[in-house]
Amino acid sequence: MIRFIIKGIVRDKSKSLIPIAVISVGVMVTVLMFGFLKGVFSDVINQNARLDTGHVKIMTKPYAENKEQLPNDLALLDIRELIDSLNQNFPEMIWTPRIKFGGIMDVPDNFGNTKSQGPGMGLALALFDKDSKELERLKLSESVEKGSLPNKKGQILLSDNYANKLNINPGETITFFGSTMEGSMVFQNYEMSGTVRFGSPLMDKSTFIIDILDAQVMLDMNNGSGEILGYFKNNKYDDKRALTIAKKFNSKYISSSDEYAPVMVTLKDQNDLRASLEMGDAFSGVFLFVFIIAMSLVLWNTGLIGGLRRYNEFGIRLAIGESKSNIFRILLVEASVIGIIGSLIGTSLGILFCYYLQEVGIDISKDIANSTIIMPSVMRAYVTSDLFYIGFIPGLFSMLFGTALSGRGIYKRETARLFKELEV
């Protein structure tokens, strides 16, 4: 029967062309939007994890309450012992310390006078510790614009935009003016080794990177760190596992009287990410539901028009003894075949466009130049396994629903009037 129905669909294009076109367009838009939204949200998570939040983050309680102010006087101490304990209790994660700090960067001329200066945001990483995987995580090797990465103590890495603003080139000296953990003034010279582009306007604006050992000496933070970040070894964020780990860690210090006791928070519990991402997931669900309803209404109208055109066909089939339920059932099978064909076409087109957006993306760097949150400057779609079946949900359901609504007219036909209608 399926073979017979397919032949009828192919030969009588008038009853299948419009529904297939409607389904194809609807499924294509559904797949494209689903892949695009998933790509954007995934990039936001990955970008925040790499540059700021980690998959989990450990801070002291007062530091966590004032983290926007980068209060290194409230930093973690004895971090080597803490990291050893974390490695033992949570071996499924990689733990790495980071220090964030601010100050003034001054570029001297050949006579030692100030050539240019400006405020900067410092990020101290374990650059020379291969086990931390910080270079790979931040993709620093791939992001170098000028010069090279630091390869010895006393070198500094600037964002490319910041270096251009300060008019400094690799190999030149730059001076940091700031304060230590204890509040004392500090002046430290560094050799600028190169520049990088982070891919986030907020980070590219005025960020510089030094090795964490240099930062600990400069800021009087021996064996101390503002934050300890934890990353799953597969580099994929798992919210349930992260919450479990945070709950287990925090349970050890929940009754501690130490006001500087460490506290662990997950990625989604930072920067208002949980609410934003849950809103995005809800939007995706609403978007899919709205498309199903809208396509069902269109296909209902298409089915009604098709039903009017096939009015005599149904009458003849009823007149020769075919049951109404059988005609209705065959209509639903036809609708399923049309829905599958349209969904296949729409899914193929949607994945094709998603792949294009995955490789090329949409540059929004100018629109978020003044953004205060970390997000990628290029929005991309992701081609995932979900896209190969997600379009069949609106494609099949809407076609079946629309056909079922329009097919109700079959049961309203009165067999006694059939021959009178056929005579006409």
Most confident of 69-73, 187-191, 388-392: 187-191
Residues 6+ apart with CB under 8 A from 299: 19, 22, 23, 398, 399, 401, 402, 403
Cα–Cα distance measured from residue 327 to residue 342, given in angstroms and rounded to the nearest whole number: 22
Give yes or no for a contact between 226 and 180, defined as CB atoms under 8 angstroms apart: no
Does the residue 291 lie in any domain? yes
The predicted model gives 384-407 an average pLDDT of 80
Q: Which residues of 43-80 are buried (b: 16+ CB within 10 A; e: fewer)?
A: bbbbbbbbbbbbbbbbbbebbbeebeebbbebbbeebe
So what's the pLDDT on residue 355? Answer: 92
Does the residue 254 lie in any domain? no
So what's the pLDDT on residue 423? Answer: 53
Domain containing 126 equals 97-225
So what's the pLDDT on residue 113? Answer: 83
Give yes or no for a contact between 12 and 18, defined as CB atoms under 8 angstroms apart: no
Residues 104 and 186 in one domain: yes
Cα–Cα distance measured from residue 90 to residue 95, given in angstroms and rounded to the nearest whole number: 9
Is the dihedral angle over the CA atoms 245, 248, 250, 252 positive or is it negative? negative
Query: Has residue 348 got a pLDDT over 70?
Result: yes
CA 10 remoteness from chain centre: 41
Residues 124 and 218 in one domain: yes
So what's the pLDDT on residue 300? Answer: 66
Confidence at 39, pLDDT banded by 50, 70, 90: confident
Residues 354 and 286 in one domain: yes
| Of 192, 175, 188, 195, nearest in space to 216 by CA | 188
Q: Between 298 and 370, where is the model more confident?
A: 298
Most confident of 225-229, 291-295, 329-333, 342-346: 225-229
| Of 10, 29, 15, nearest in space to 343 by CA | 29
Q: How many CB atoms lie within 10 A of CB 12?
A: 11
Query: Has residue 159 got a pLDDT over 70?
Result: yes
Strands (DSSP E) found in 181-256 = 185-196, 207-211, 224-225, 227-232
Does the residue 131 lie in any domain? yes
Is the dihedral angle over the CA atoms 349, 350, 353, 359 positive or is it negative? negative
- Tens of pLDDT, residue by residue over 5-26, are 666 666 666 667 778 888 888 8
Does the residue 244 lie in any domain? no
Most confident of 68-72, 103-107, 396-400, 414-418: 103-107
Residues 415 and 296 in one domain: yes
Confidence at 2, pLDDT banded by 50, 70, 90: low
Residues 19 and 115 in one domain: no
pTM equals 0.76
Does the residue 186 lie in any domain? yes
Query: Helix, strand or coil for residue 164?
Result: helix
Confidence at 170, pLDDT banded by 50, 70, 90: very high
How many domains, the chain? 2
3-class SS string, 5-48: HHHHHHHCHHHCHHHHHHHHHHHHHHHHHHHHHHHHHHHHHHHH
So what's the pLDDT on residue 155? Answer: 94
So what's the pLDDT on residue 257? Answer: 82
3-class SS string, 90-141: CCCEEEEEEEEEEEEEEEECCCCCEEEEEEEEEEEECCCCHHHCHHHHCCHH
Q: How many CB atoms lie within 10 A of CB 108?
A: 17
Average pLDDT taken over every residue of the chain: 83
Q: What is the dihedral of CA 26, 28, 30, 33, to 10 degrees?
A: -140
So what's the pLDDT on residue 354? Answer: 92
Query: Has residue 156 got a pLDDT over 60?
Result: yes
Confidence at 286, pLDDT banded by 50, 70, 90: confident
Does the residue 383 lie in any domain? yes
- Tens of pLDDT, residue by residue over 186-245, are 999 999 999 998 877 878 888 999 999 999 999 999 999 999 999 999 888 888 999 999
User: At which of 208, 225, 242 does a domain end?
Assistant: 225
Query: Has residue 421 got a pLDDT over 80?
Result: no
So what's the pLDDT on residue 339? Answer: 83
Does the residue 194 lie in any domain? yes
Confidence at 411, pLDDT banded by 50, 70, 90: low
Residues 282 and 205 in one domain: no
Is the dihedral angle over the CA atoms 266, 270, 272, 273 positive or is it negative? negative
Angle between helices 17-48 and 273-309 (to 10 degrees): 180
The predicted model gives 58-79 an average pLDDT of 90
So what's the pLDDT on residue 68? Answer: 84
So what's the pLDDT on residue 83? Answer: 93
So what's the pLDDT on residue 242? Answer: 93
Confidence at 305, pLDDT banded by 50, 70, 90: low
Give yes or no for a contact between 102 and 122, defined as CB atoms under 8 angstroms apart: yes
Residues 307 and 409 in one domain: yes
Residues 102 and 215 in one domain: yes
Residues 34 and 128 in one domain: no
Give yes or no for a contact between 164 and 184, defined as CB atoms under 8 angstroms apart: no
User: At which of 159, 193, 225 does a domain end?
Assistant: 225
Does the residue 377 lie in any domain? yes
Residues 218 and 145 in one domain: yes
So what's the pLDDT on residue 363? Answer: 78
So what's the pLDDT on residue 323? Answer: 76
Q: Which uninterrupted H or E stretch holds 350?
A: helix 324-359
**What is the percent of the chain with per-residue pLDDT over 70, rounded to a whole number?**
83
- Return the ∠ at Cα 159 (arms to 156 and 75), rounded to 5°: 60
Is the dihedral angle over the CA atoms 352, 353, 354, 355 positive or is it negative? positive
Residues 284 and 208 in one domain: no
- Tens of pLDDT, residue by residue over 110-134, are 877 888 999 999 999 999 988 888 8
